[in-house]
A and B are shown apart, each in its own frame.
Chain A
Amino acid sequence: MKPKIAFFDFTGCEGCQLEVINFETEIVDLLNLVDIVNFREAMTERSDDYDIAFIDGCISTESDITRIKAIRDQAKILVTIGSCSSLGGVNCLKNFYPMEEVLKVVYGKDAKYYNTIPARPVSAVVPVDYSLPQCPVNRFEFIDLTKAVLLGKKPERPNYPVCVECKLAENGCVFDKGGTCLGPVTRAGCGAICITNGRHCWGCRGLVDEPNINSEKEILKEHGLTVEDMLKKFRIYDGWLEVSK
């Protein structure tokens, strides 16, 4: 029998599910290996019987918490895809403000009728087996991980910083151009796509294990930047690390 896989979206932009749908021909191949039993963005049928659950979006309401716990109970393997479910992602930017203020800014006088809780990654609520942070999810990594899980292998992820891939891509260093970049402490695997396209690294894949913070500090110092400058950049995707402490 084919393994049953399910997709569940929480608080987010649904760009990760779209990236999976965008896998055009490969998604058709994937259908030969698994049964997709739940994929609200693409299909009407739904089932509560599944082996692998892919989660995108962060946890940001009380009902999100109840729902993710039920999914965890059912799924043999739970995988978070994208930065929101894996790291908390951009949603955690709101955690830097009091929730009452956030509600008031958006809803004014009607704010009193509503409620919200600080945004958090799935791992802050239930155990997660594998996570694939990147905004949006790296669909090649998604396919590789799915294959590995189906074969019963442990998926591997690079444990070196984006700088390595950036050098391979022959990009000039962002710091040398006067910018701030999180490449030195961020886990590689994206091919340094942002820097290759003329931008800098925002840290959407999360930290490498044991990031070399001292070396990053050195680089910042060399370029007249402060840890504050960097932290502010890091908040965009990894604010949860800062506020959860």
Chain B
Amino acid sequence: MTNMNIKVHHVTRVEGHGNITVNTKDGKVEEVKWEIPESPRFFEAMMRGLHYHDVNHVSPRICGICSLAHSTASIEATEAAFGIQPSEQTILLRKLLFHAETLQSHVLHCYFLAAPDLLNVGSVFPLVETHTDVVLRALRLKKLANDLADLIAGRKTHPLTPVAGGFTKFPEVSQLKAMKQRLVEALPDLDETVKLFKALKMPDFVRETEYIALKKPDEYAFIGGDIASTDTGTTPVTNYLEMTNEFCVPQSTAKFSKHNRNSYMVGALARFNNNYSQLLPKAAKVAEELGLKAPCYNPFMNNIAQVVESVHAVEDALAIIDKLAARGIKPEKPIEKVKAGRGIGAVEAPRGILFHDYTFDEKGILVKANLIIPTNQNHNSIQEDFEAIVSQMIDRPQEEVRQTLEMLVRAYDPCISCSTHLLEVKFT
């Protein structure tokens, strides 16, 4: 029996830094470790003392990839604290903007970060020559999503117009209609995406676990709702601490989470497993075509769930634009209301459920913040998958095991810079 000695320092093609360590001896697992050495950011500590407008401006800087999710969670938490009920127009624009982020993040992840593994190359760059059409299609879809976000938020990375109580600038109906046209024209690109991922073979690995996502009665939830678990049912967002139970582990600068079992998974697959019946018709059909059925216990299928959600996002974006066009866009002034209190915002970032919990004083100055990041919630699940994969593959060549573990990390689409609960680790 050969020994394995895998050490991957800073896994590539993920957002943020993570290390993999595996040691086996004579067919026995000695050590399997998923480490997070990301540098600490300390947002919860350093945002204290900021005015709520600045809190909403700074908190998207937690993560460049999901800055819109952080912006939305931050705004929702602020509105909850102040008792602001956003207008119908605000809710529609917020949802549309959110779909832009889901689409752009999923496309980036599926094509640029995950697909190179399945096509056996080290990055998207060599695909520019060998798979030009694939790369150009990914770029088109990504650009479309970015342009949609730019139109509504003023800028995709670190949005400008979304504020507590509304927006500071509005798209014209004609611009939205032009965007609709482009979304319609992108449908064939999505069909091709489905074909591409149908042809790619996902590793065959199953580990049943708990899946946690937001749930709403009337739609596939991305913003607000209750917290749903495939193990324990739904609970209000105000109980989020009981669901997430963060704890520190010595190998990690990020906190880990557990709920009903040793670990749980969040993200596209968790959303699908909880809310599959609420997918819009095209997306539901795509799920069927790609062989994604709830409950699905293969974490690698998270990539496939992302493809399904990309279709859902475009479908819903088209419907929202129709609604906005029919009712017209009014330049509403953001609702200004400030009072002392606590509010919790929960959204489904592309990579999973995200909580911002703020307490403000009577002037709207942040007194306390707690942020629970999707990737942190997944770390423990990644660790448990690692352990299962290594024992299942113990007689396989080391290189194959290493690649599978790296692929697994990527399948979770971790956004490690996001992991605001980070600290520097000292090994003693």
Contacts and interface: CB of A to CB of B under 8 A. Distances in A.
Interface of A: 10-19, 21-22, 24-25, 28, 31, 36, 39-46, 57, 60-61, 63-64, 89-91, 93-94, 96-97, 101-103, 105-107, 110-111, 113-116, 135-136, 193-194, 196-199, 202, 233, 236
Given A91-B41, A102-B45, A40 B426 contact: no
14 contacts: A13-B63, A14-B65, A21-B108, A22-B157, A41-B13, A41-B14, A45-B123, A57-B39, A60-B41, A90-B58, A194-B160, A233-B54, A236-B50, A236-B54
Contacts of A45: 122-123
A114 B425 contact: yes
Interface of B: 10, 12-16, 39-42, 44-50, 54, 57-58, 61-65, 67, 108, 112-113, 116, 122-125, 128, 135, 139, 142-143, 146, 154-158, 160-161, 167-169, 248, 250, 253, 417-418, 420-421, 423-426
Contacts of A106: 40, 42, 44-45, 420-421, 423
Given A15-B67, A93-B47, A102-B45, A193 B155 contact: yes
A73 to B, nearest CB: 20
B283 to A, nearest CB: 25
A31 to B, nearest CB: 7
B60 to A, nearest CB: 8
Contacts of B123: 39, 42-45
A44 B45 contact: no
**Nearest 10 pairs of A and B residues by beta carbon:** A15-B64, A198-B168, A43-B123, A197-B154, A44-B122, A114-B423, A11-B39, A93-B46, A105-B45, A197-B160
Given A60-B40, A135-B158, A18 B116 contact: no
A114 B424 contact: yes
Nearest to A56: B64
Nearest to B135: A28
Contacts of B124: 42-43
Contacts, number: 179
B61 A94 contact: no
B142 A94 contact: no
Contact of A43 (B13, B16, B47, B61): B13
A165 B253 CA distance: 42
Contacts of B154: 193, 196-198
B195 to A, nearest CB: 22
B241 to A, nearest CB: 13
Given A18-B157, A28-B128, A199-B160, A41 B15 contact: yes
Contacts of B157: 15, 18-19, 22, 136
A94 B46 contact: yes
Contacts of A28: 128, 135, 139
B46 A135 contact: no
A194 B397 CA distance: 53
Contacts of A135: 61, 158
Nearest to B40: A116
A43 B12 CA distance: 6
A146 B35 CA distance: 35
Which of A12, A105, A106 gathers most chain B CB within 10 Å? A106
Contacts of B64: 12-19, 136
B110 to A, nearest CB: 14
Contacts of A64: 39
A103 B423 contact: yes
Contact of A21 (B14, B45, B112): B112
Contact of B426 (A15, A44, A114): A114
Given A60-B40, A113-B248, A43 B45 contact: no
Nearest to B415: A14
A134 to B, nearest CB: 10
Which of B44, B122, B423 gathers most chain A CB within 10 Å? B423
Given A13-B62, A197-B154, A101 B45 contact: yes
A22 B58 contact: no
B363 to A, nearest CB: 13
A162 B221 CA distance: 40
Contacts of A12: 64, 417
Contacts of A46: 12
Contacts of B50: 93, 236
A87 to B, nearest CB: 13
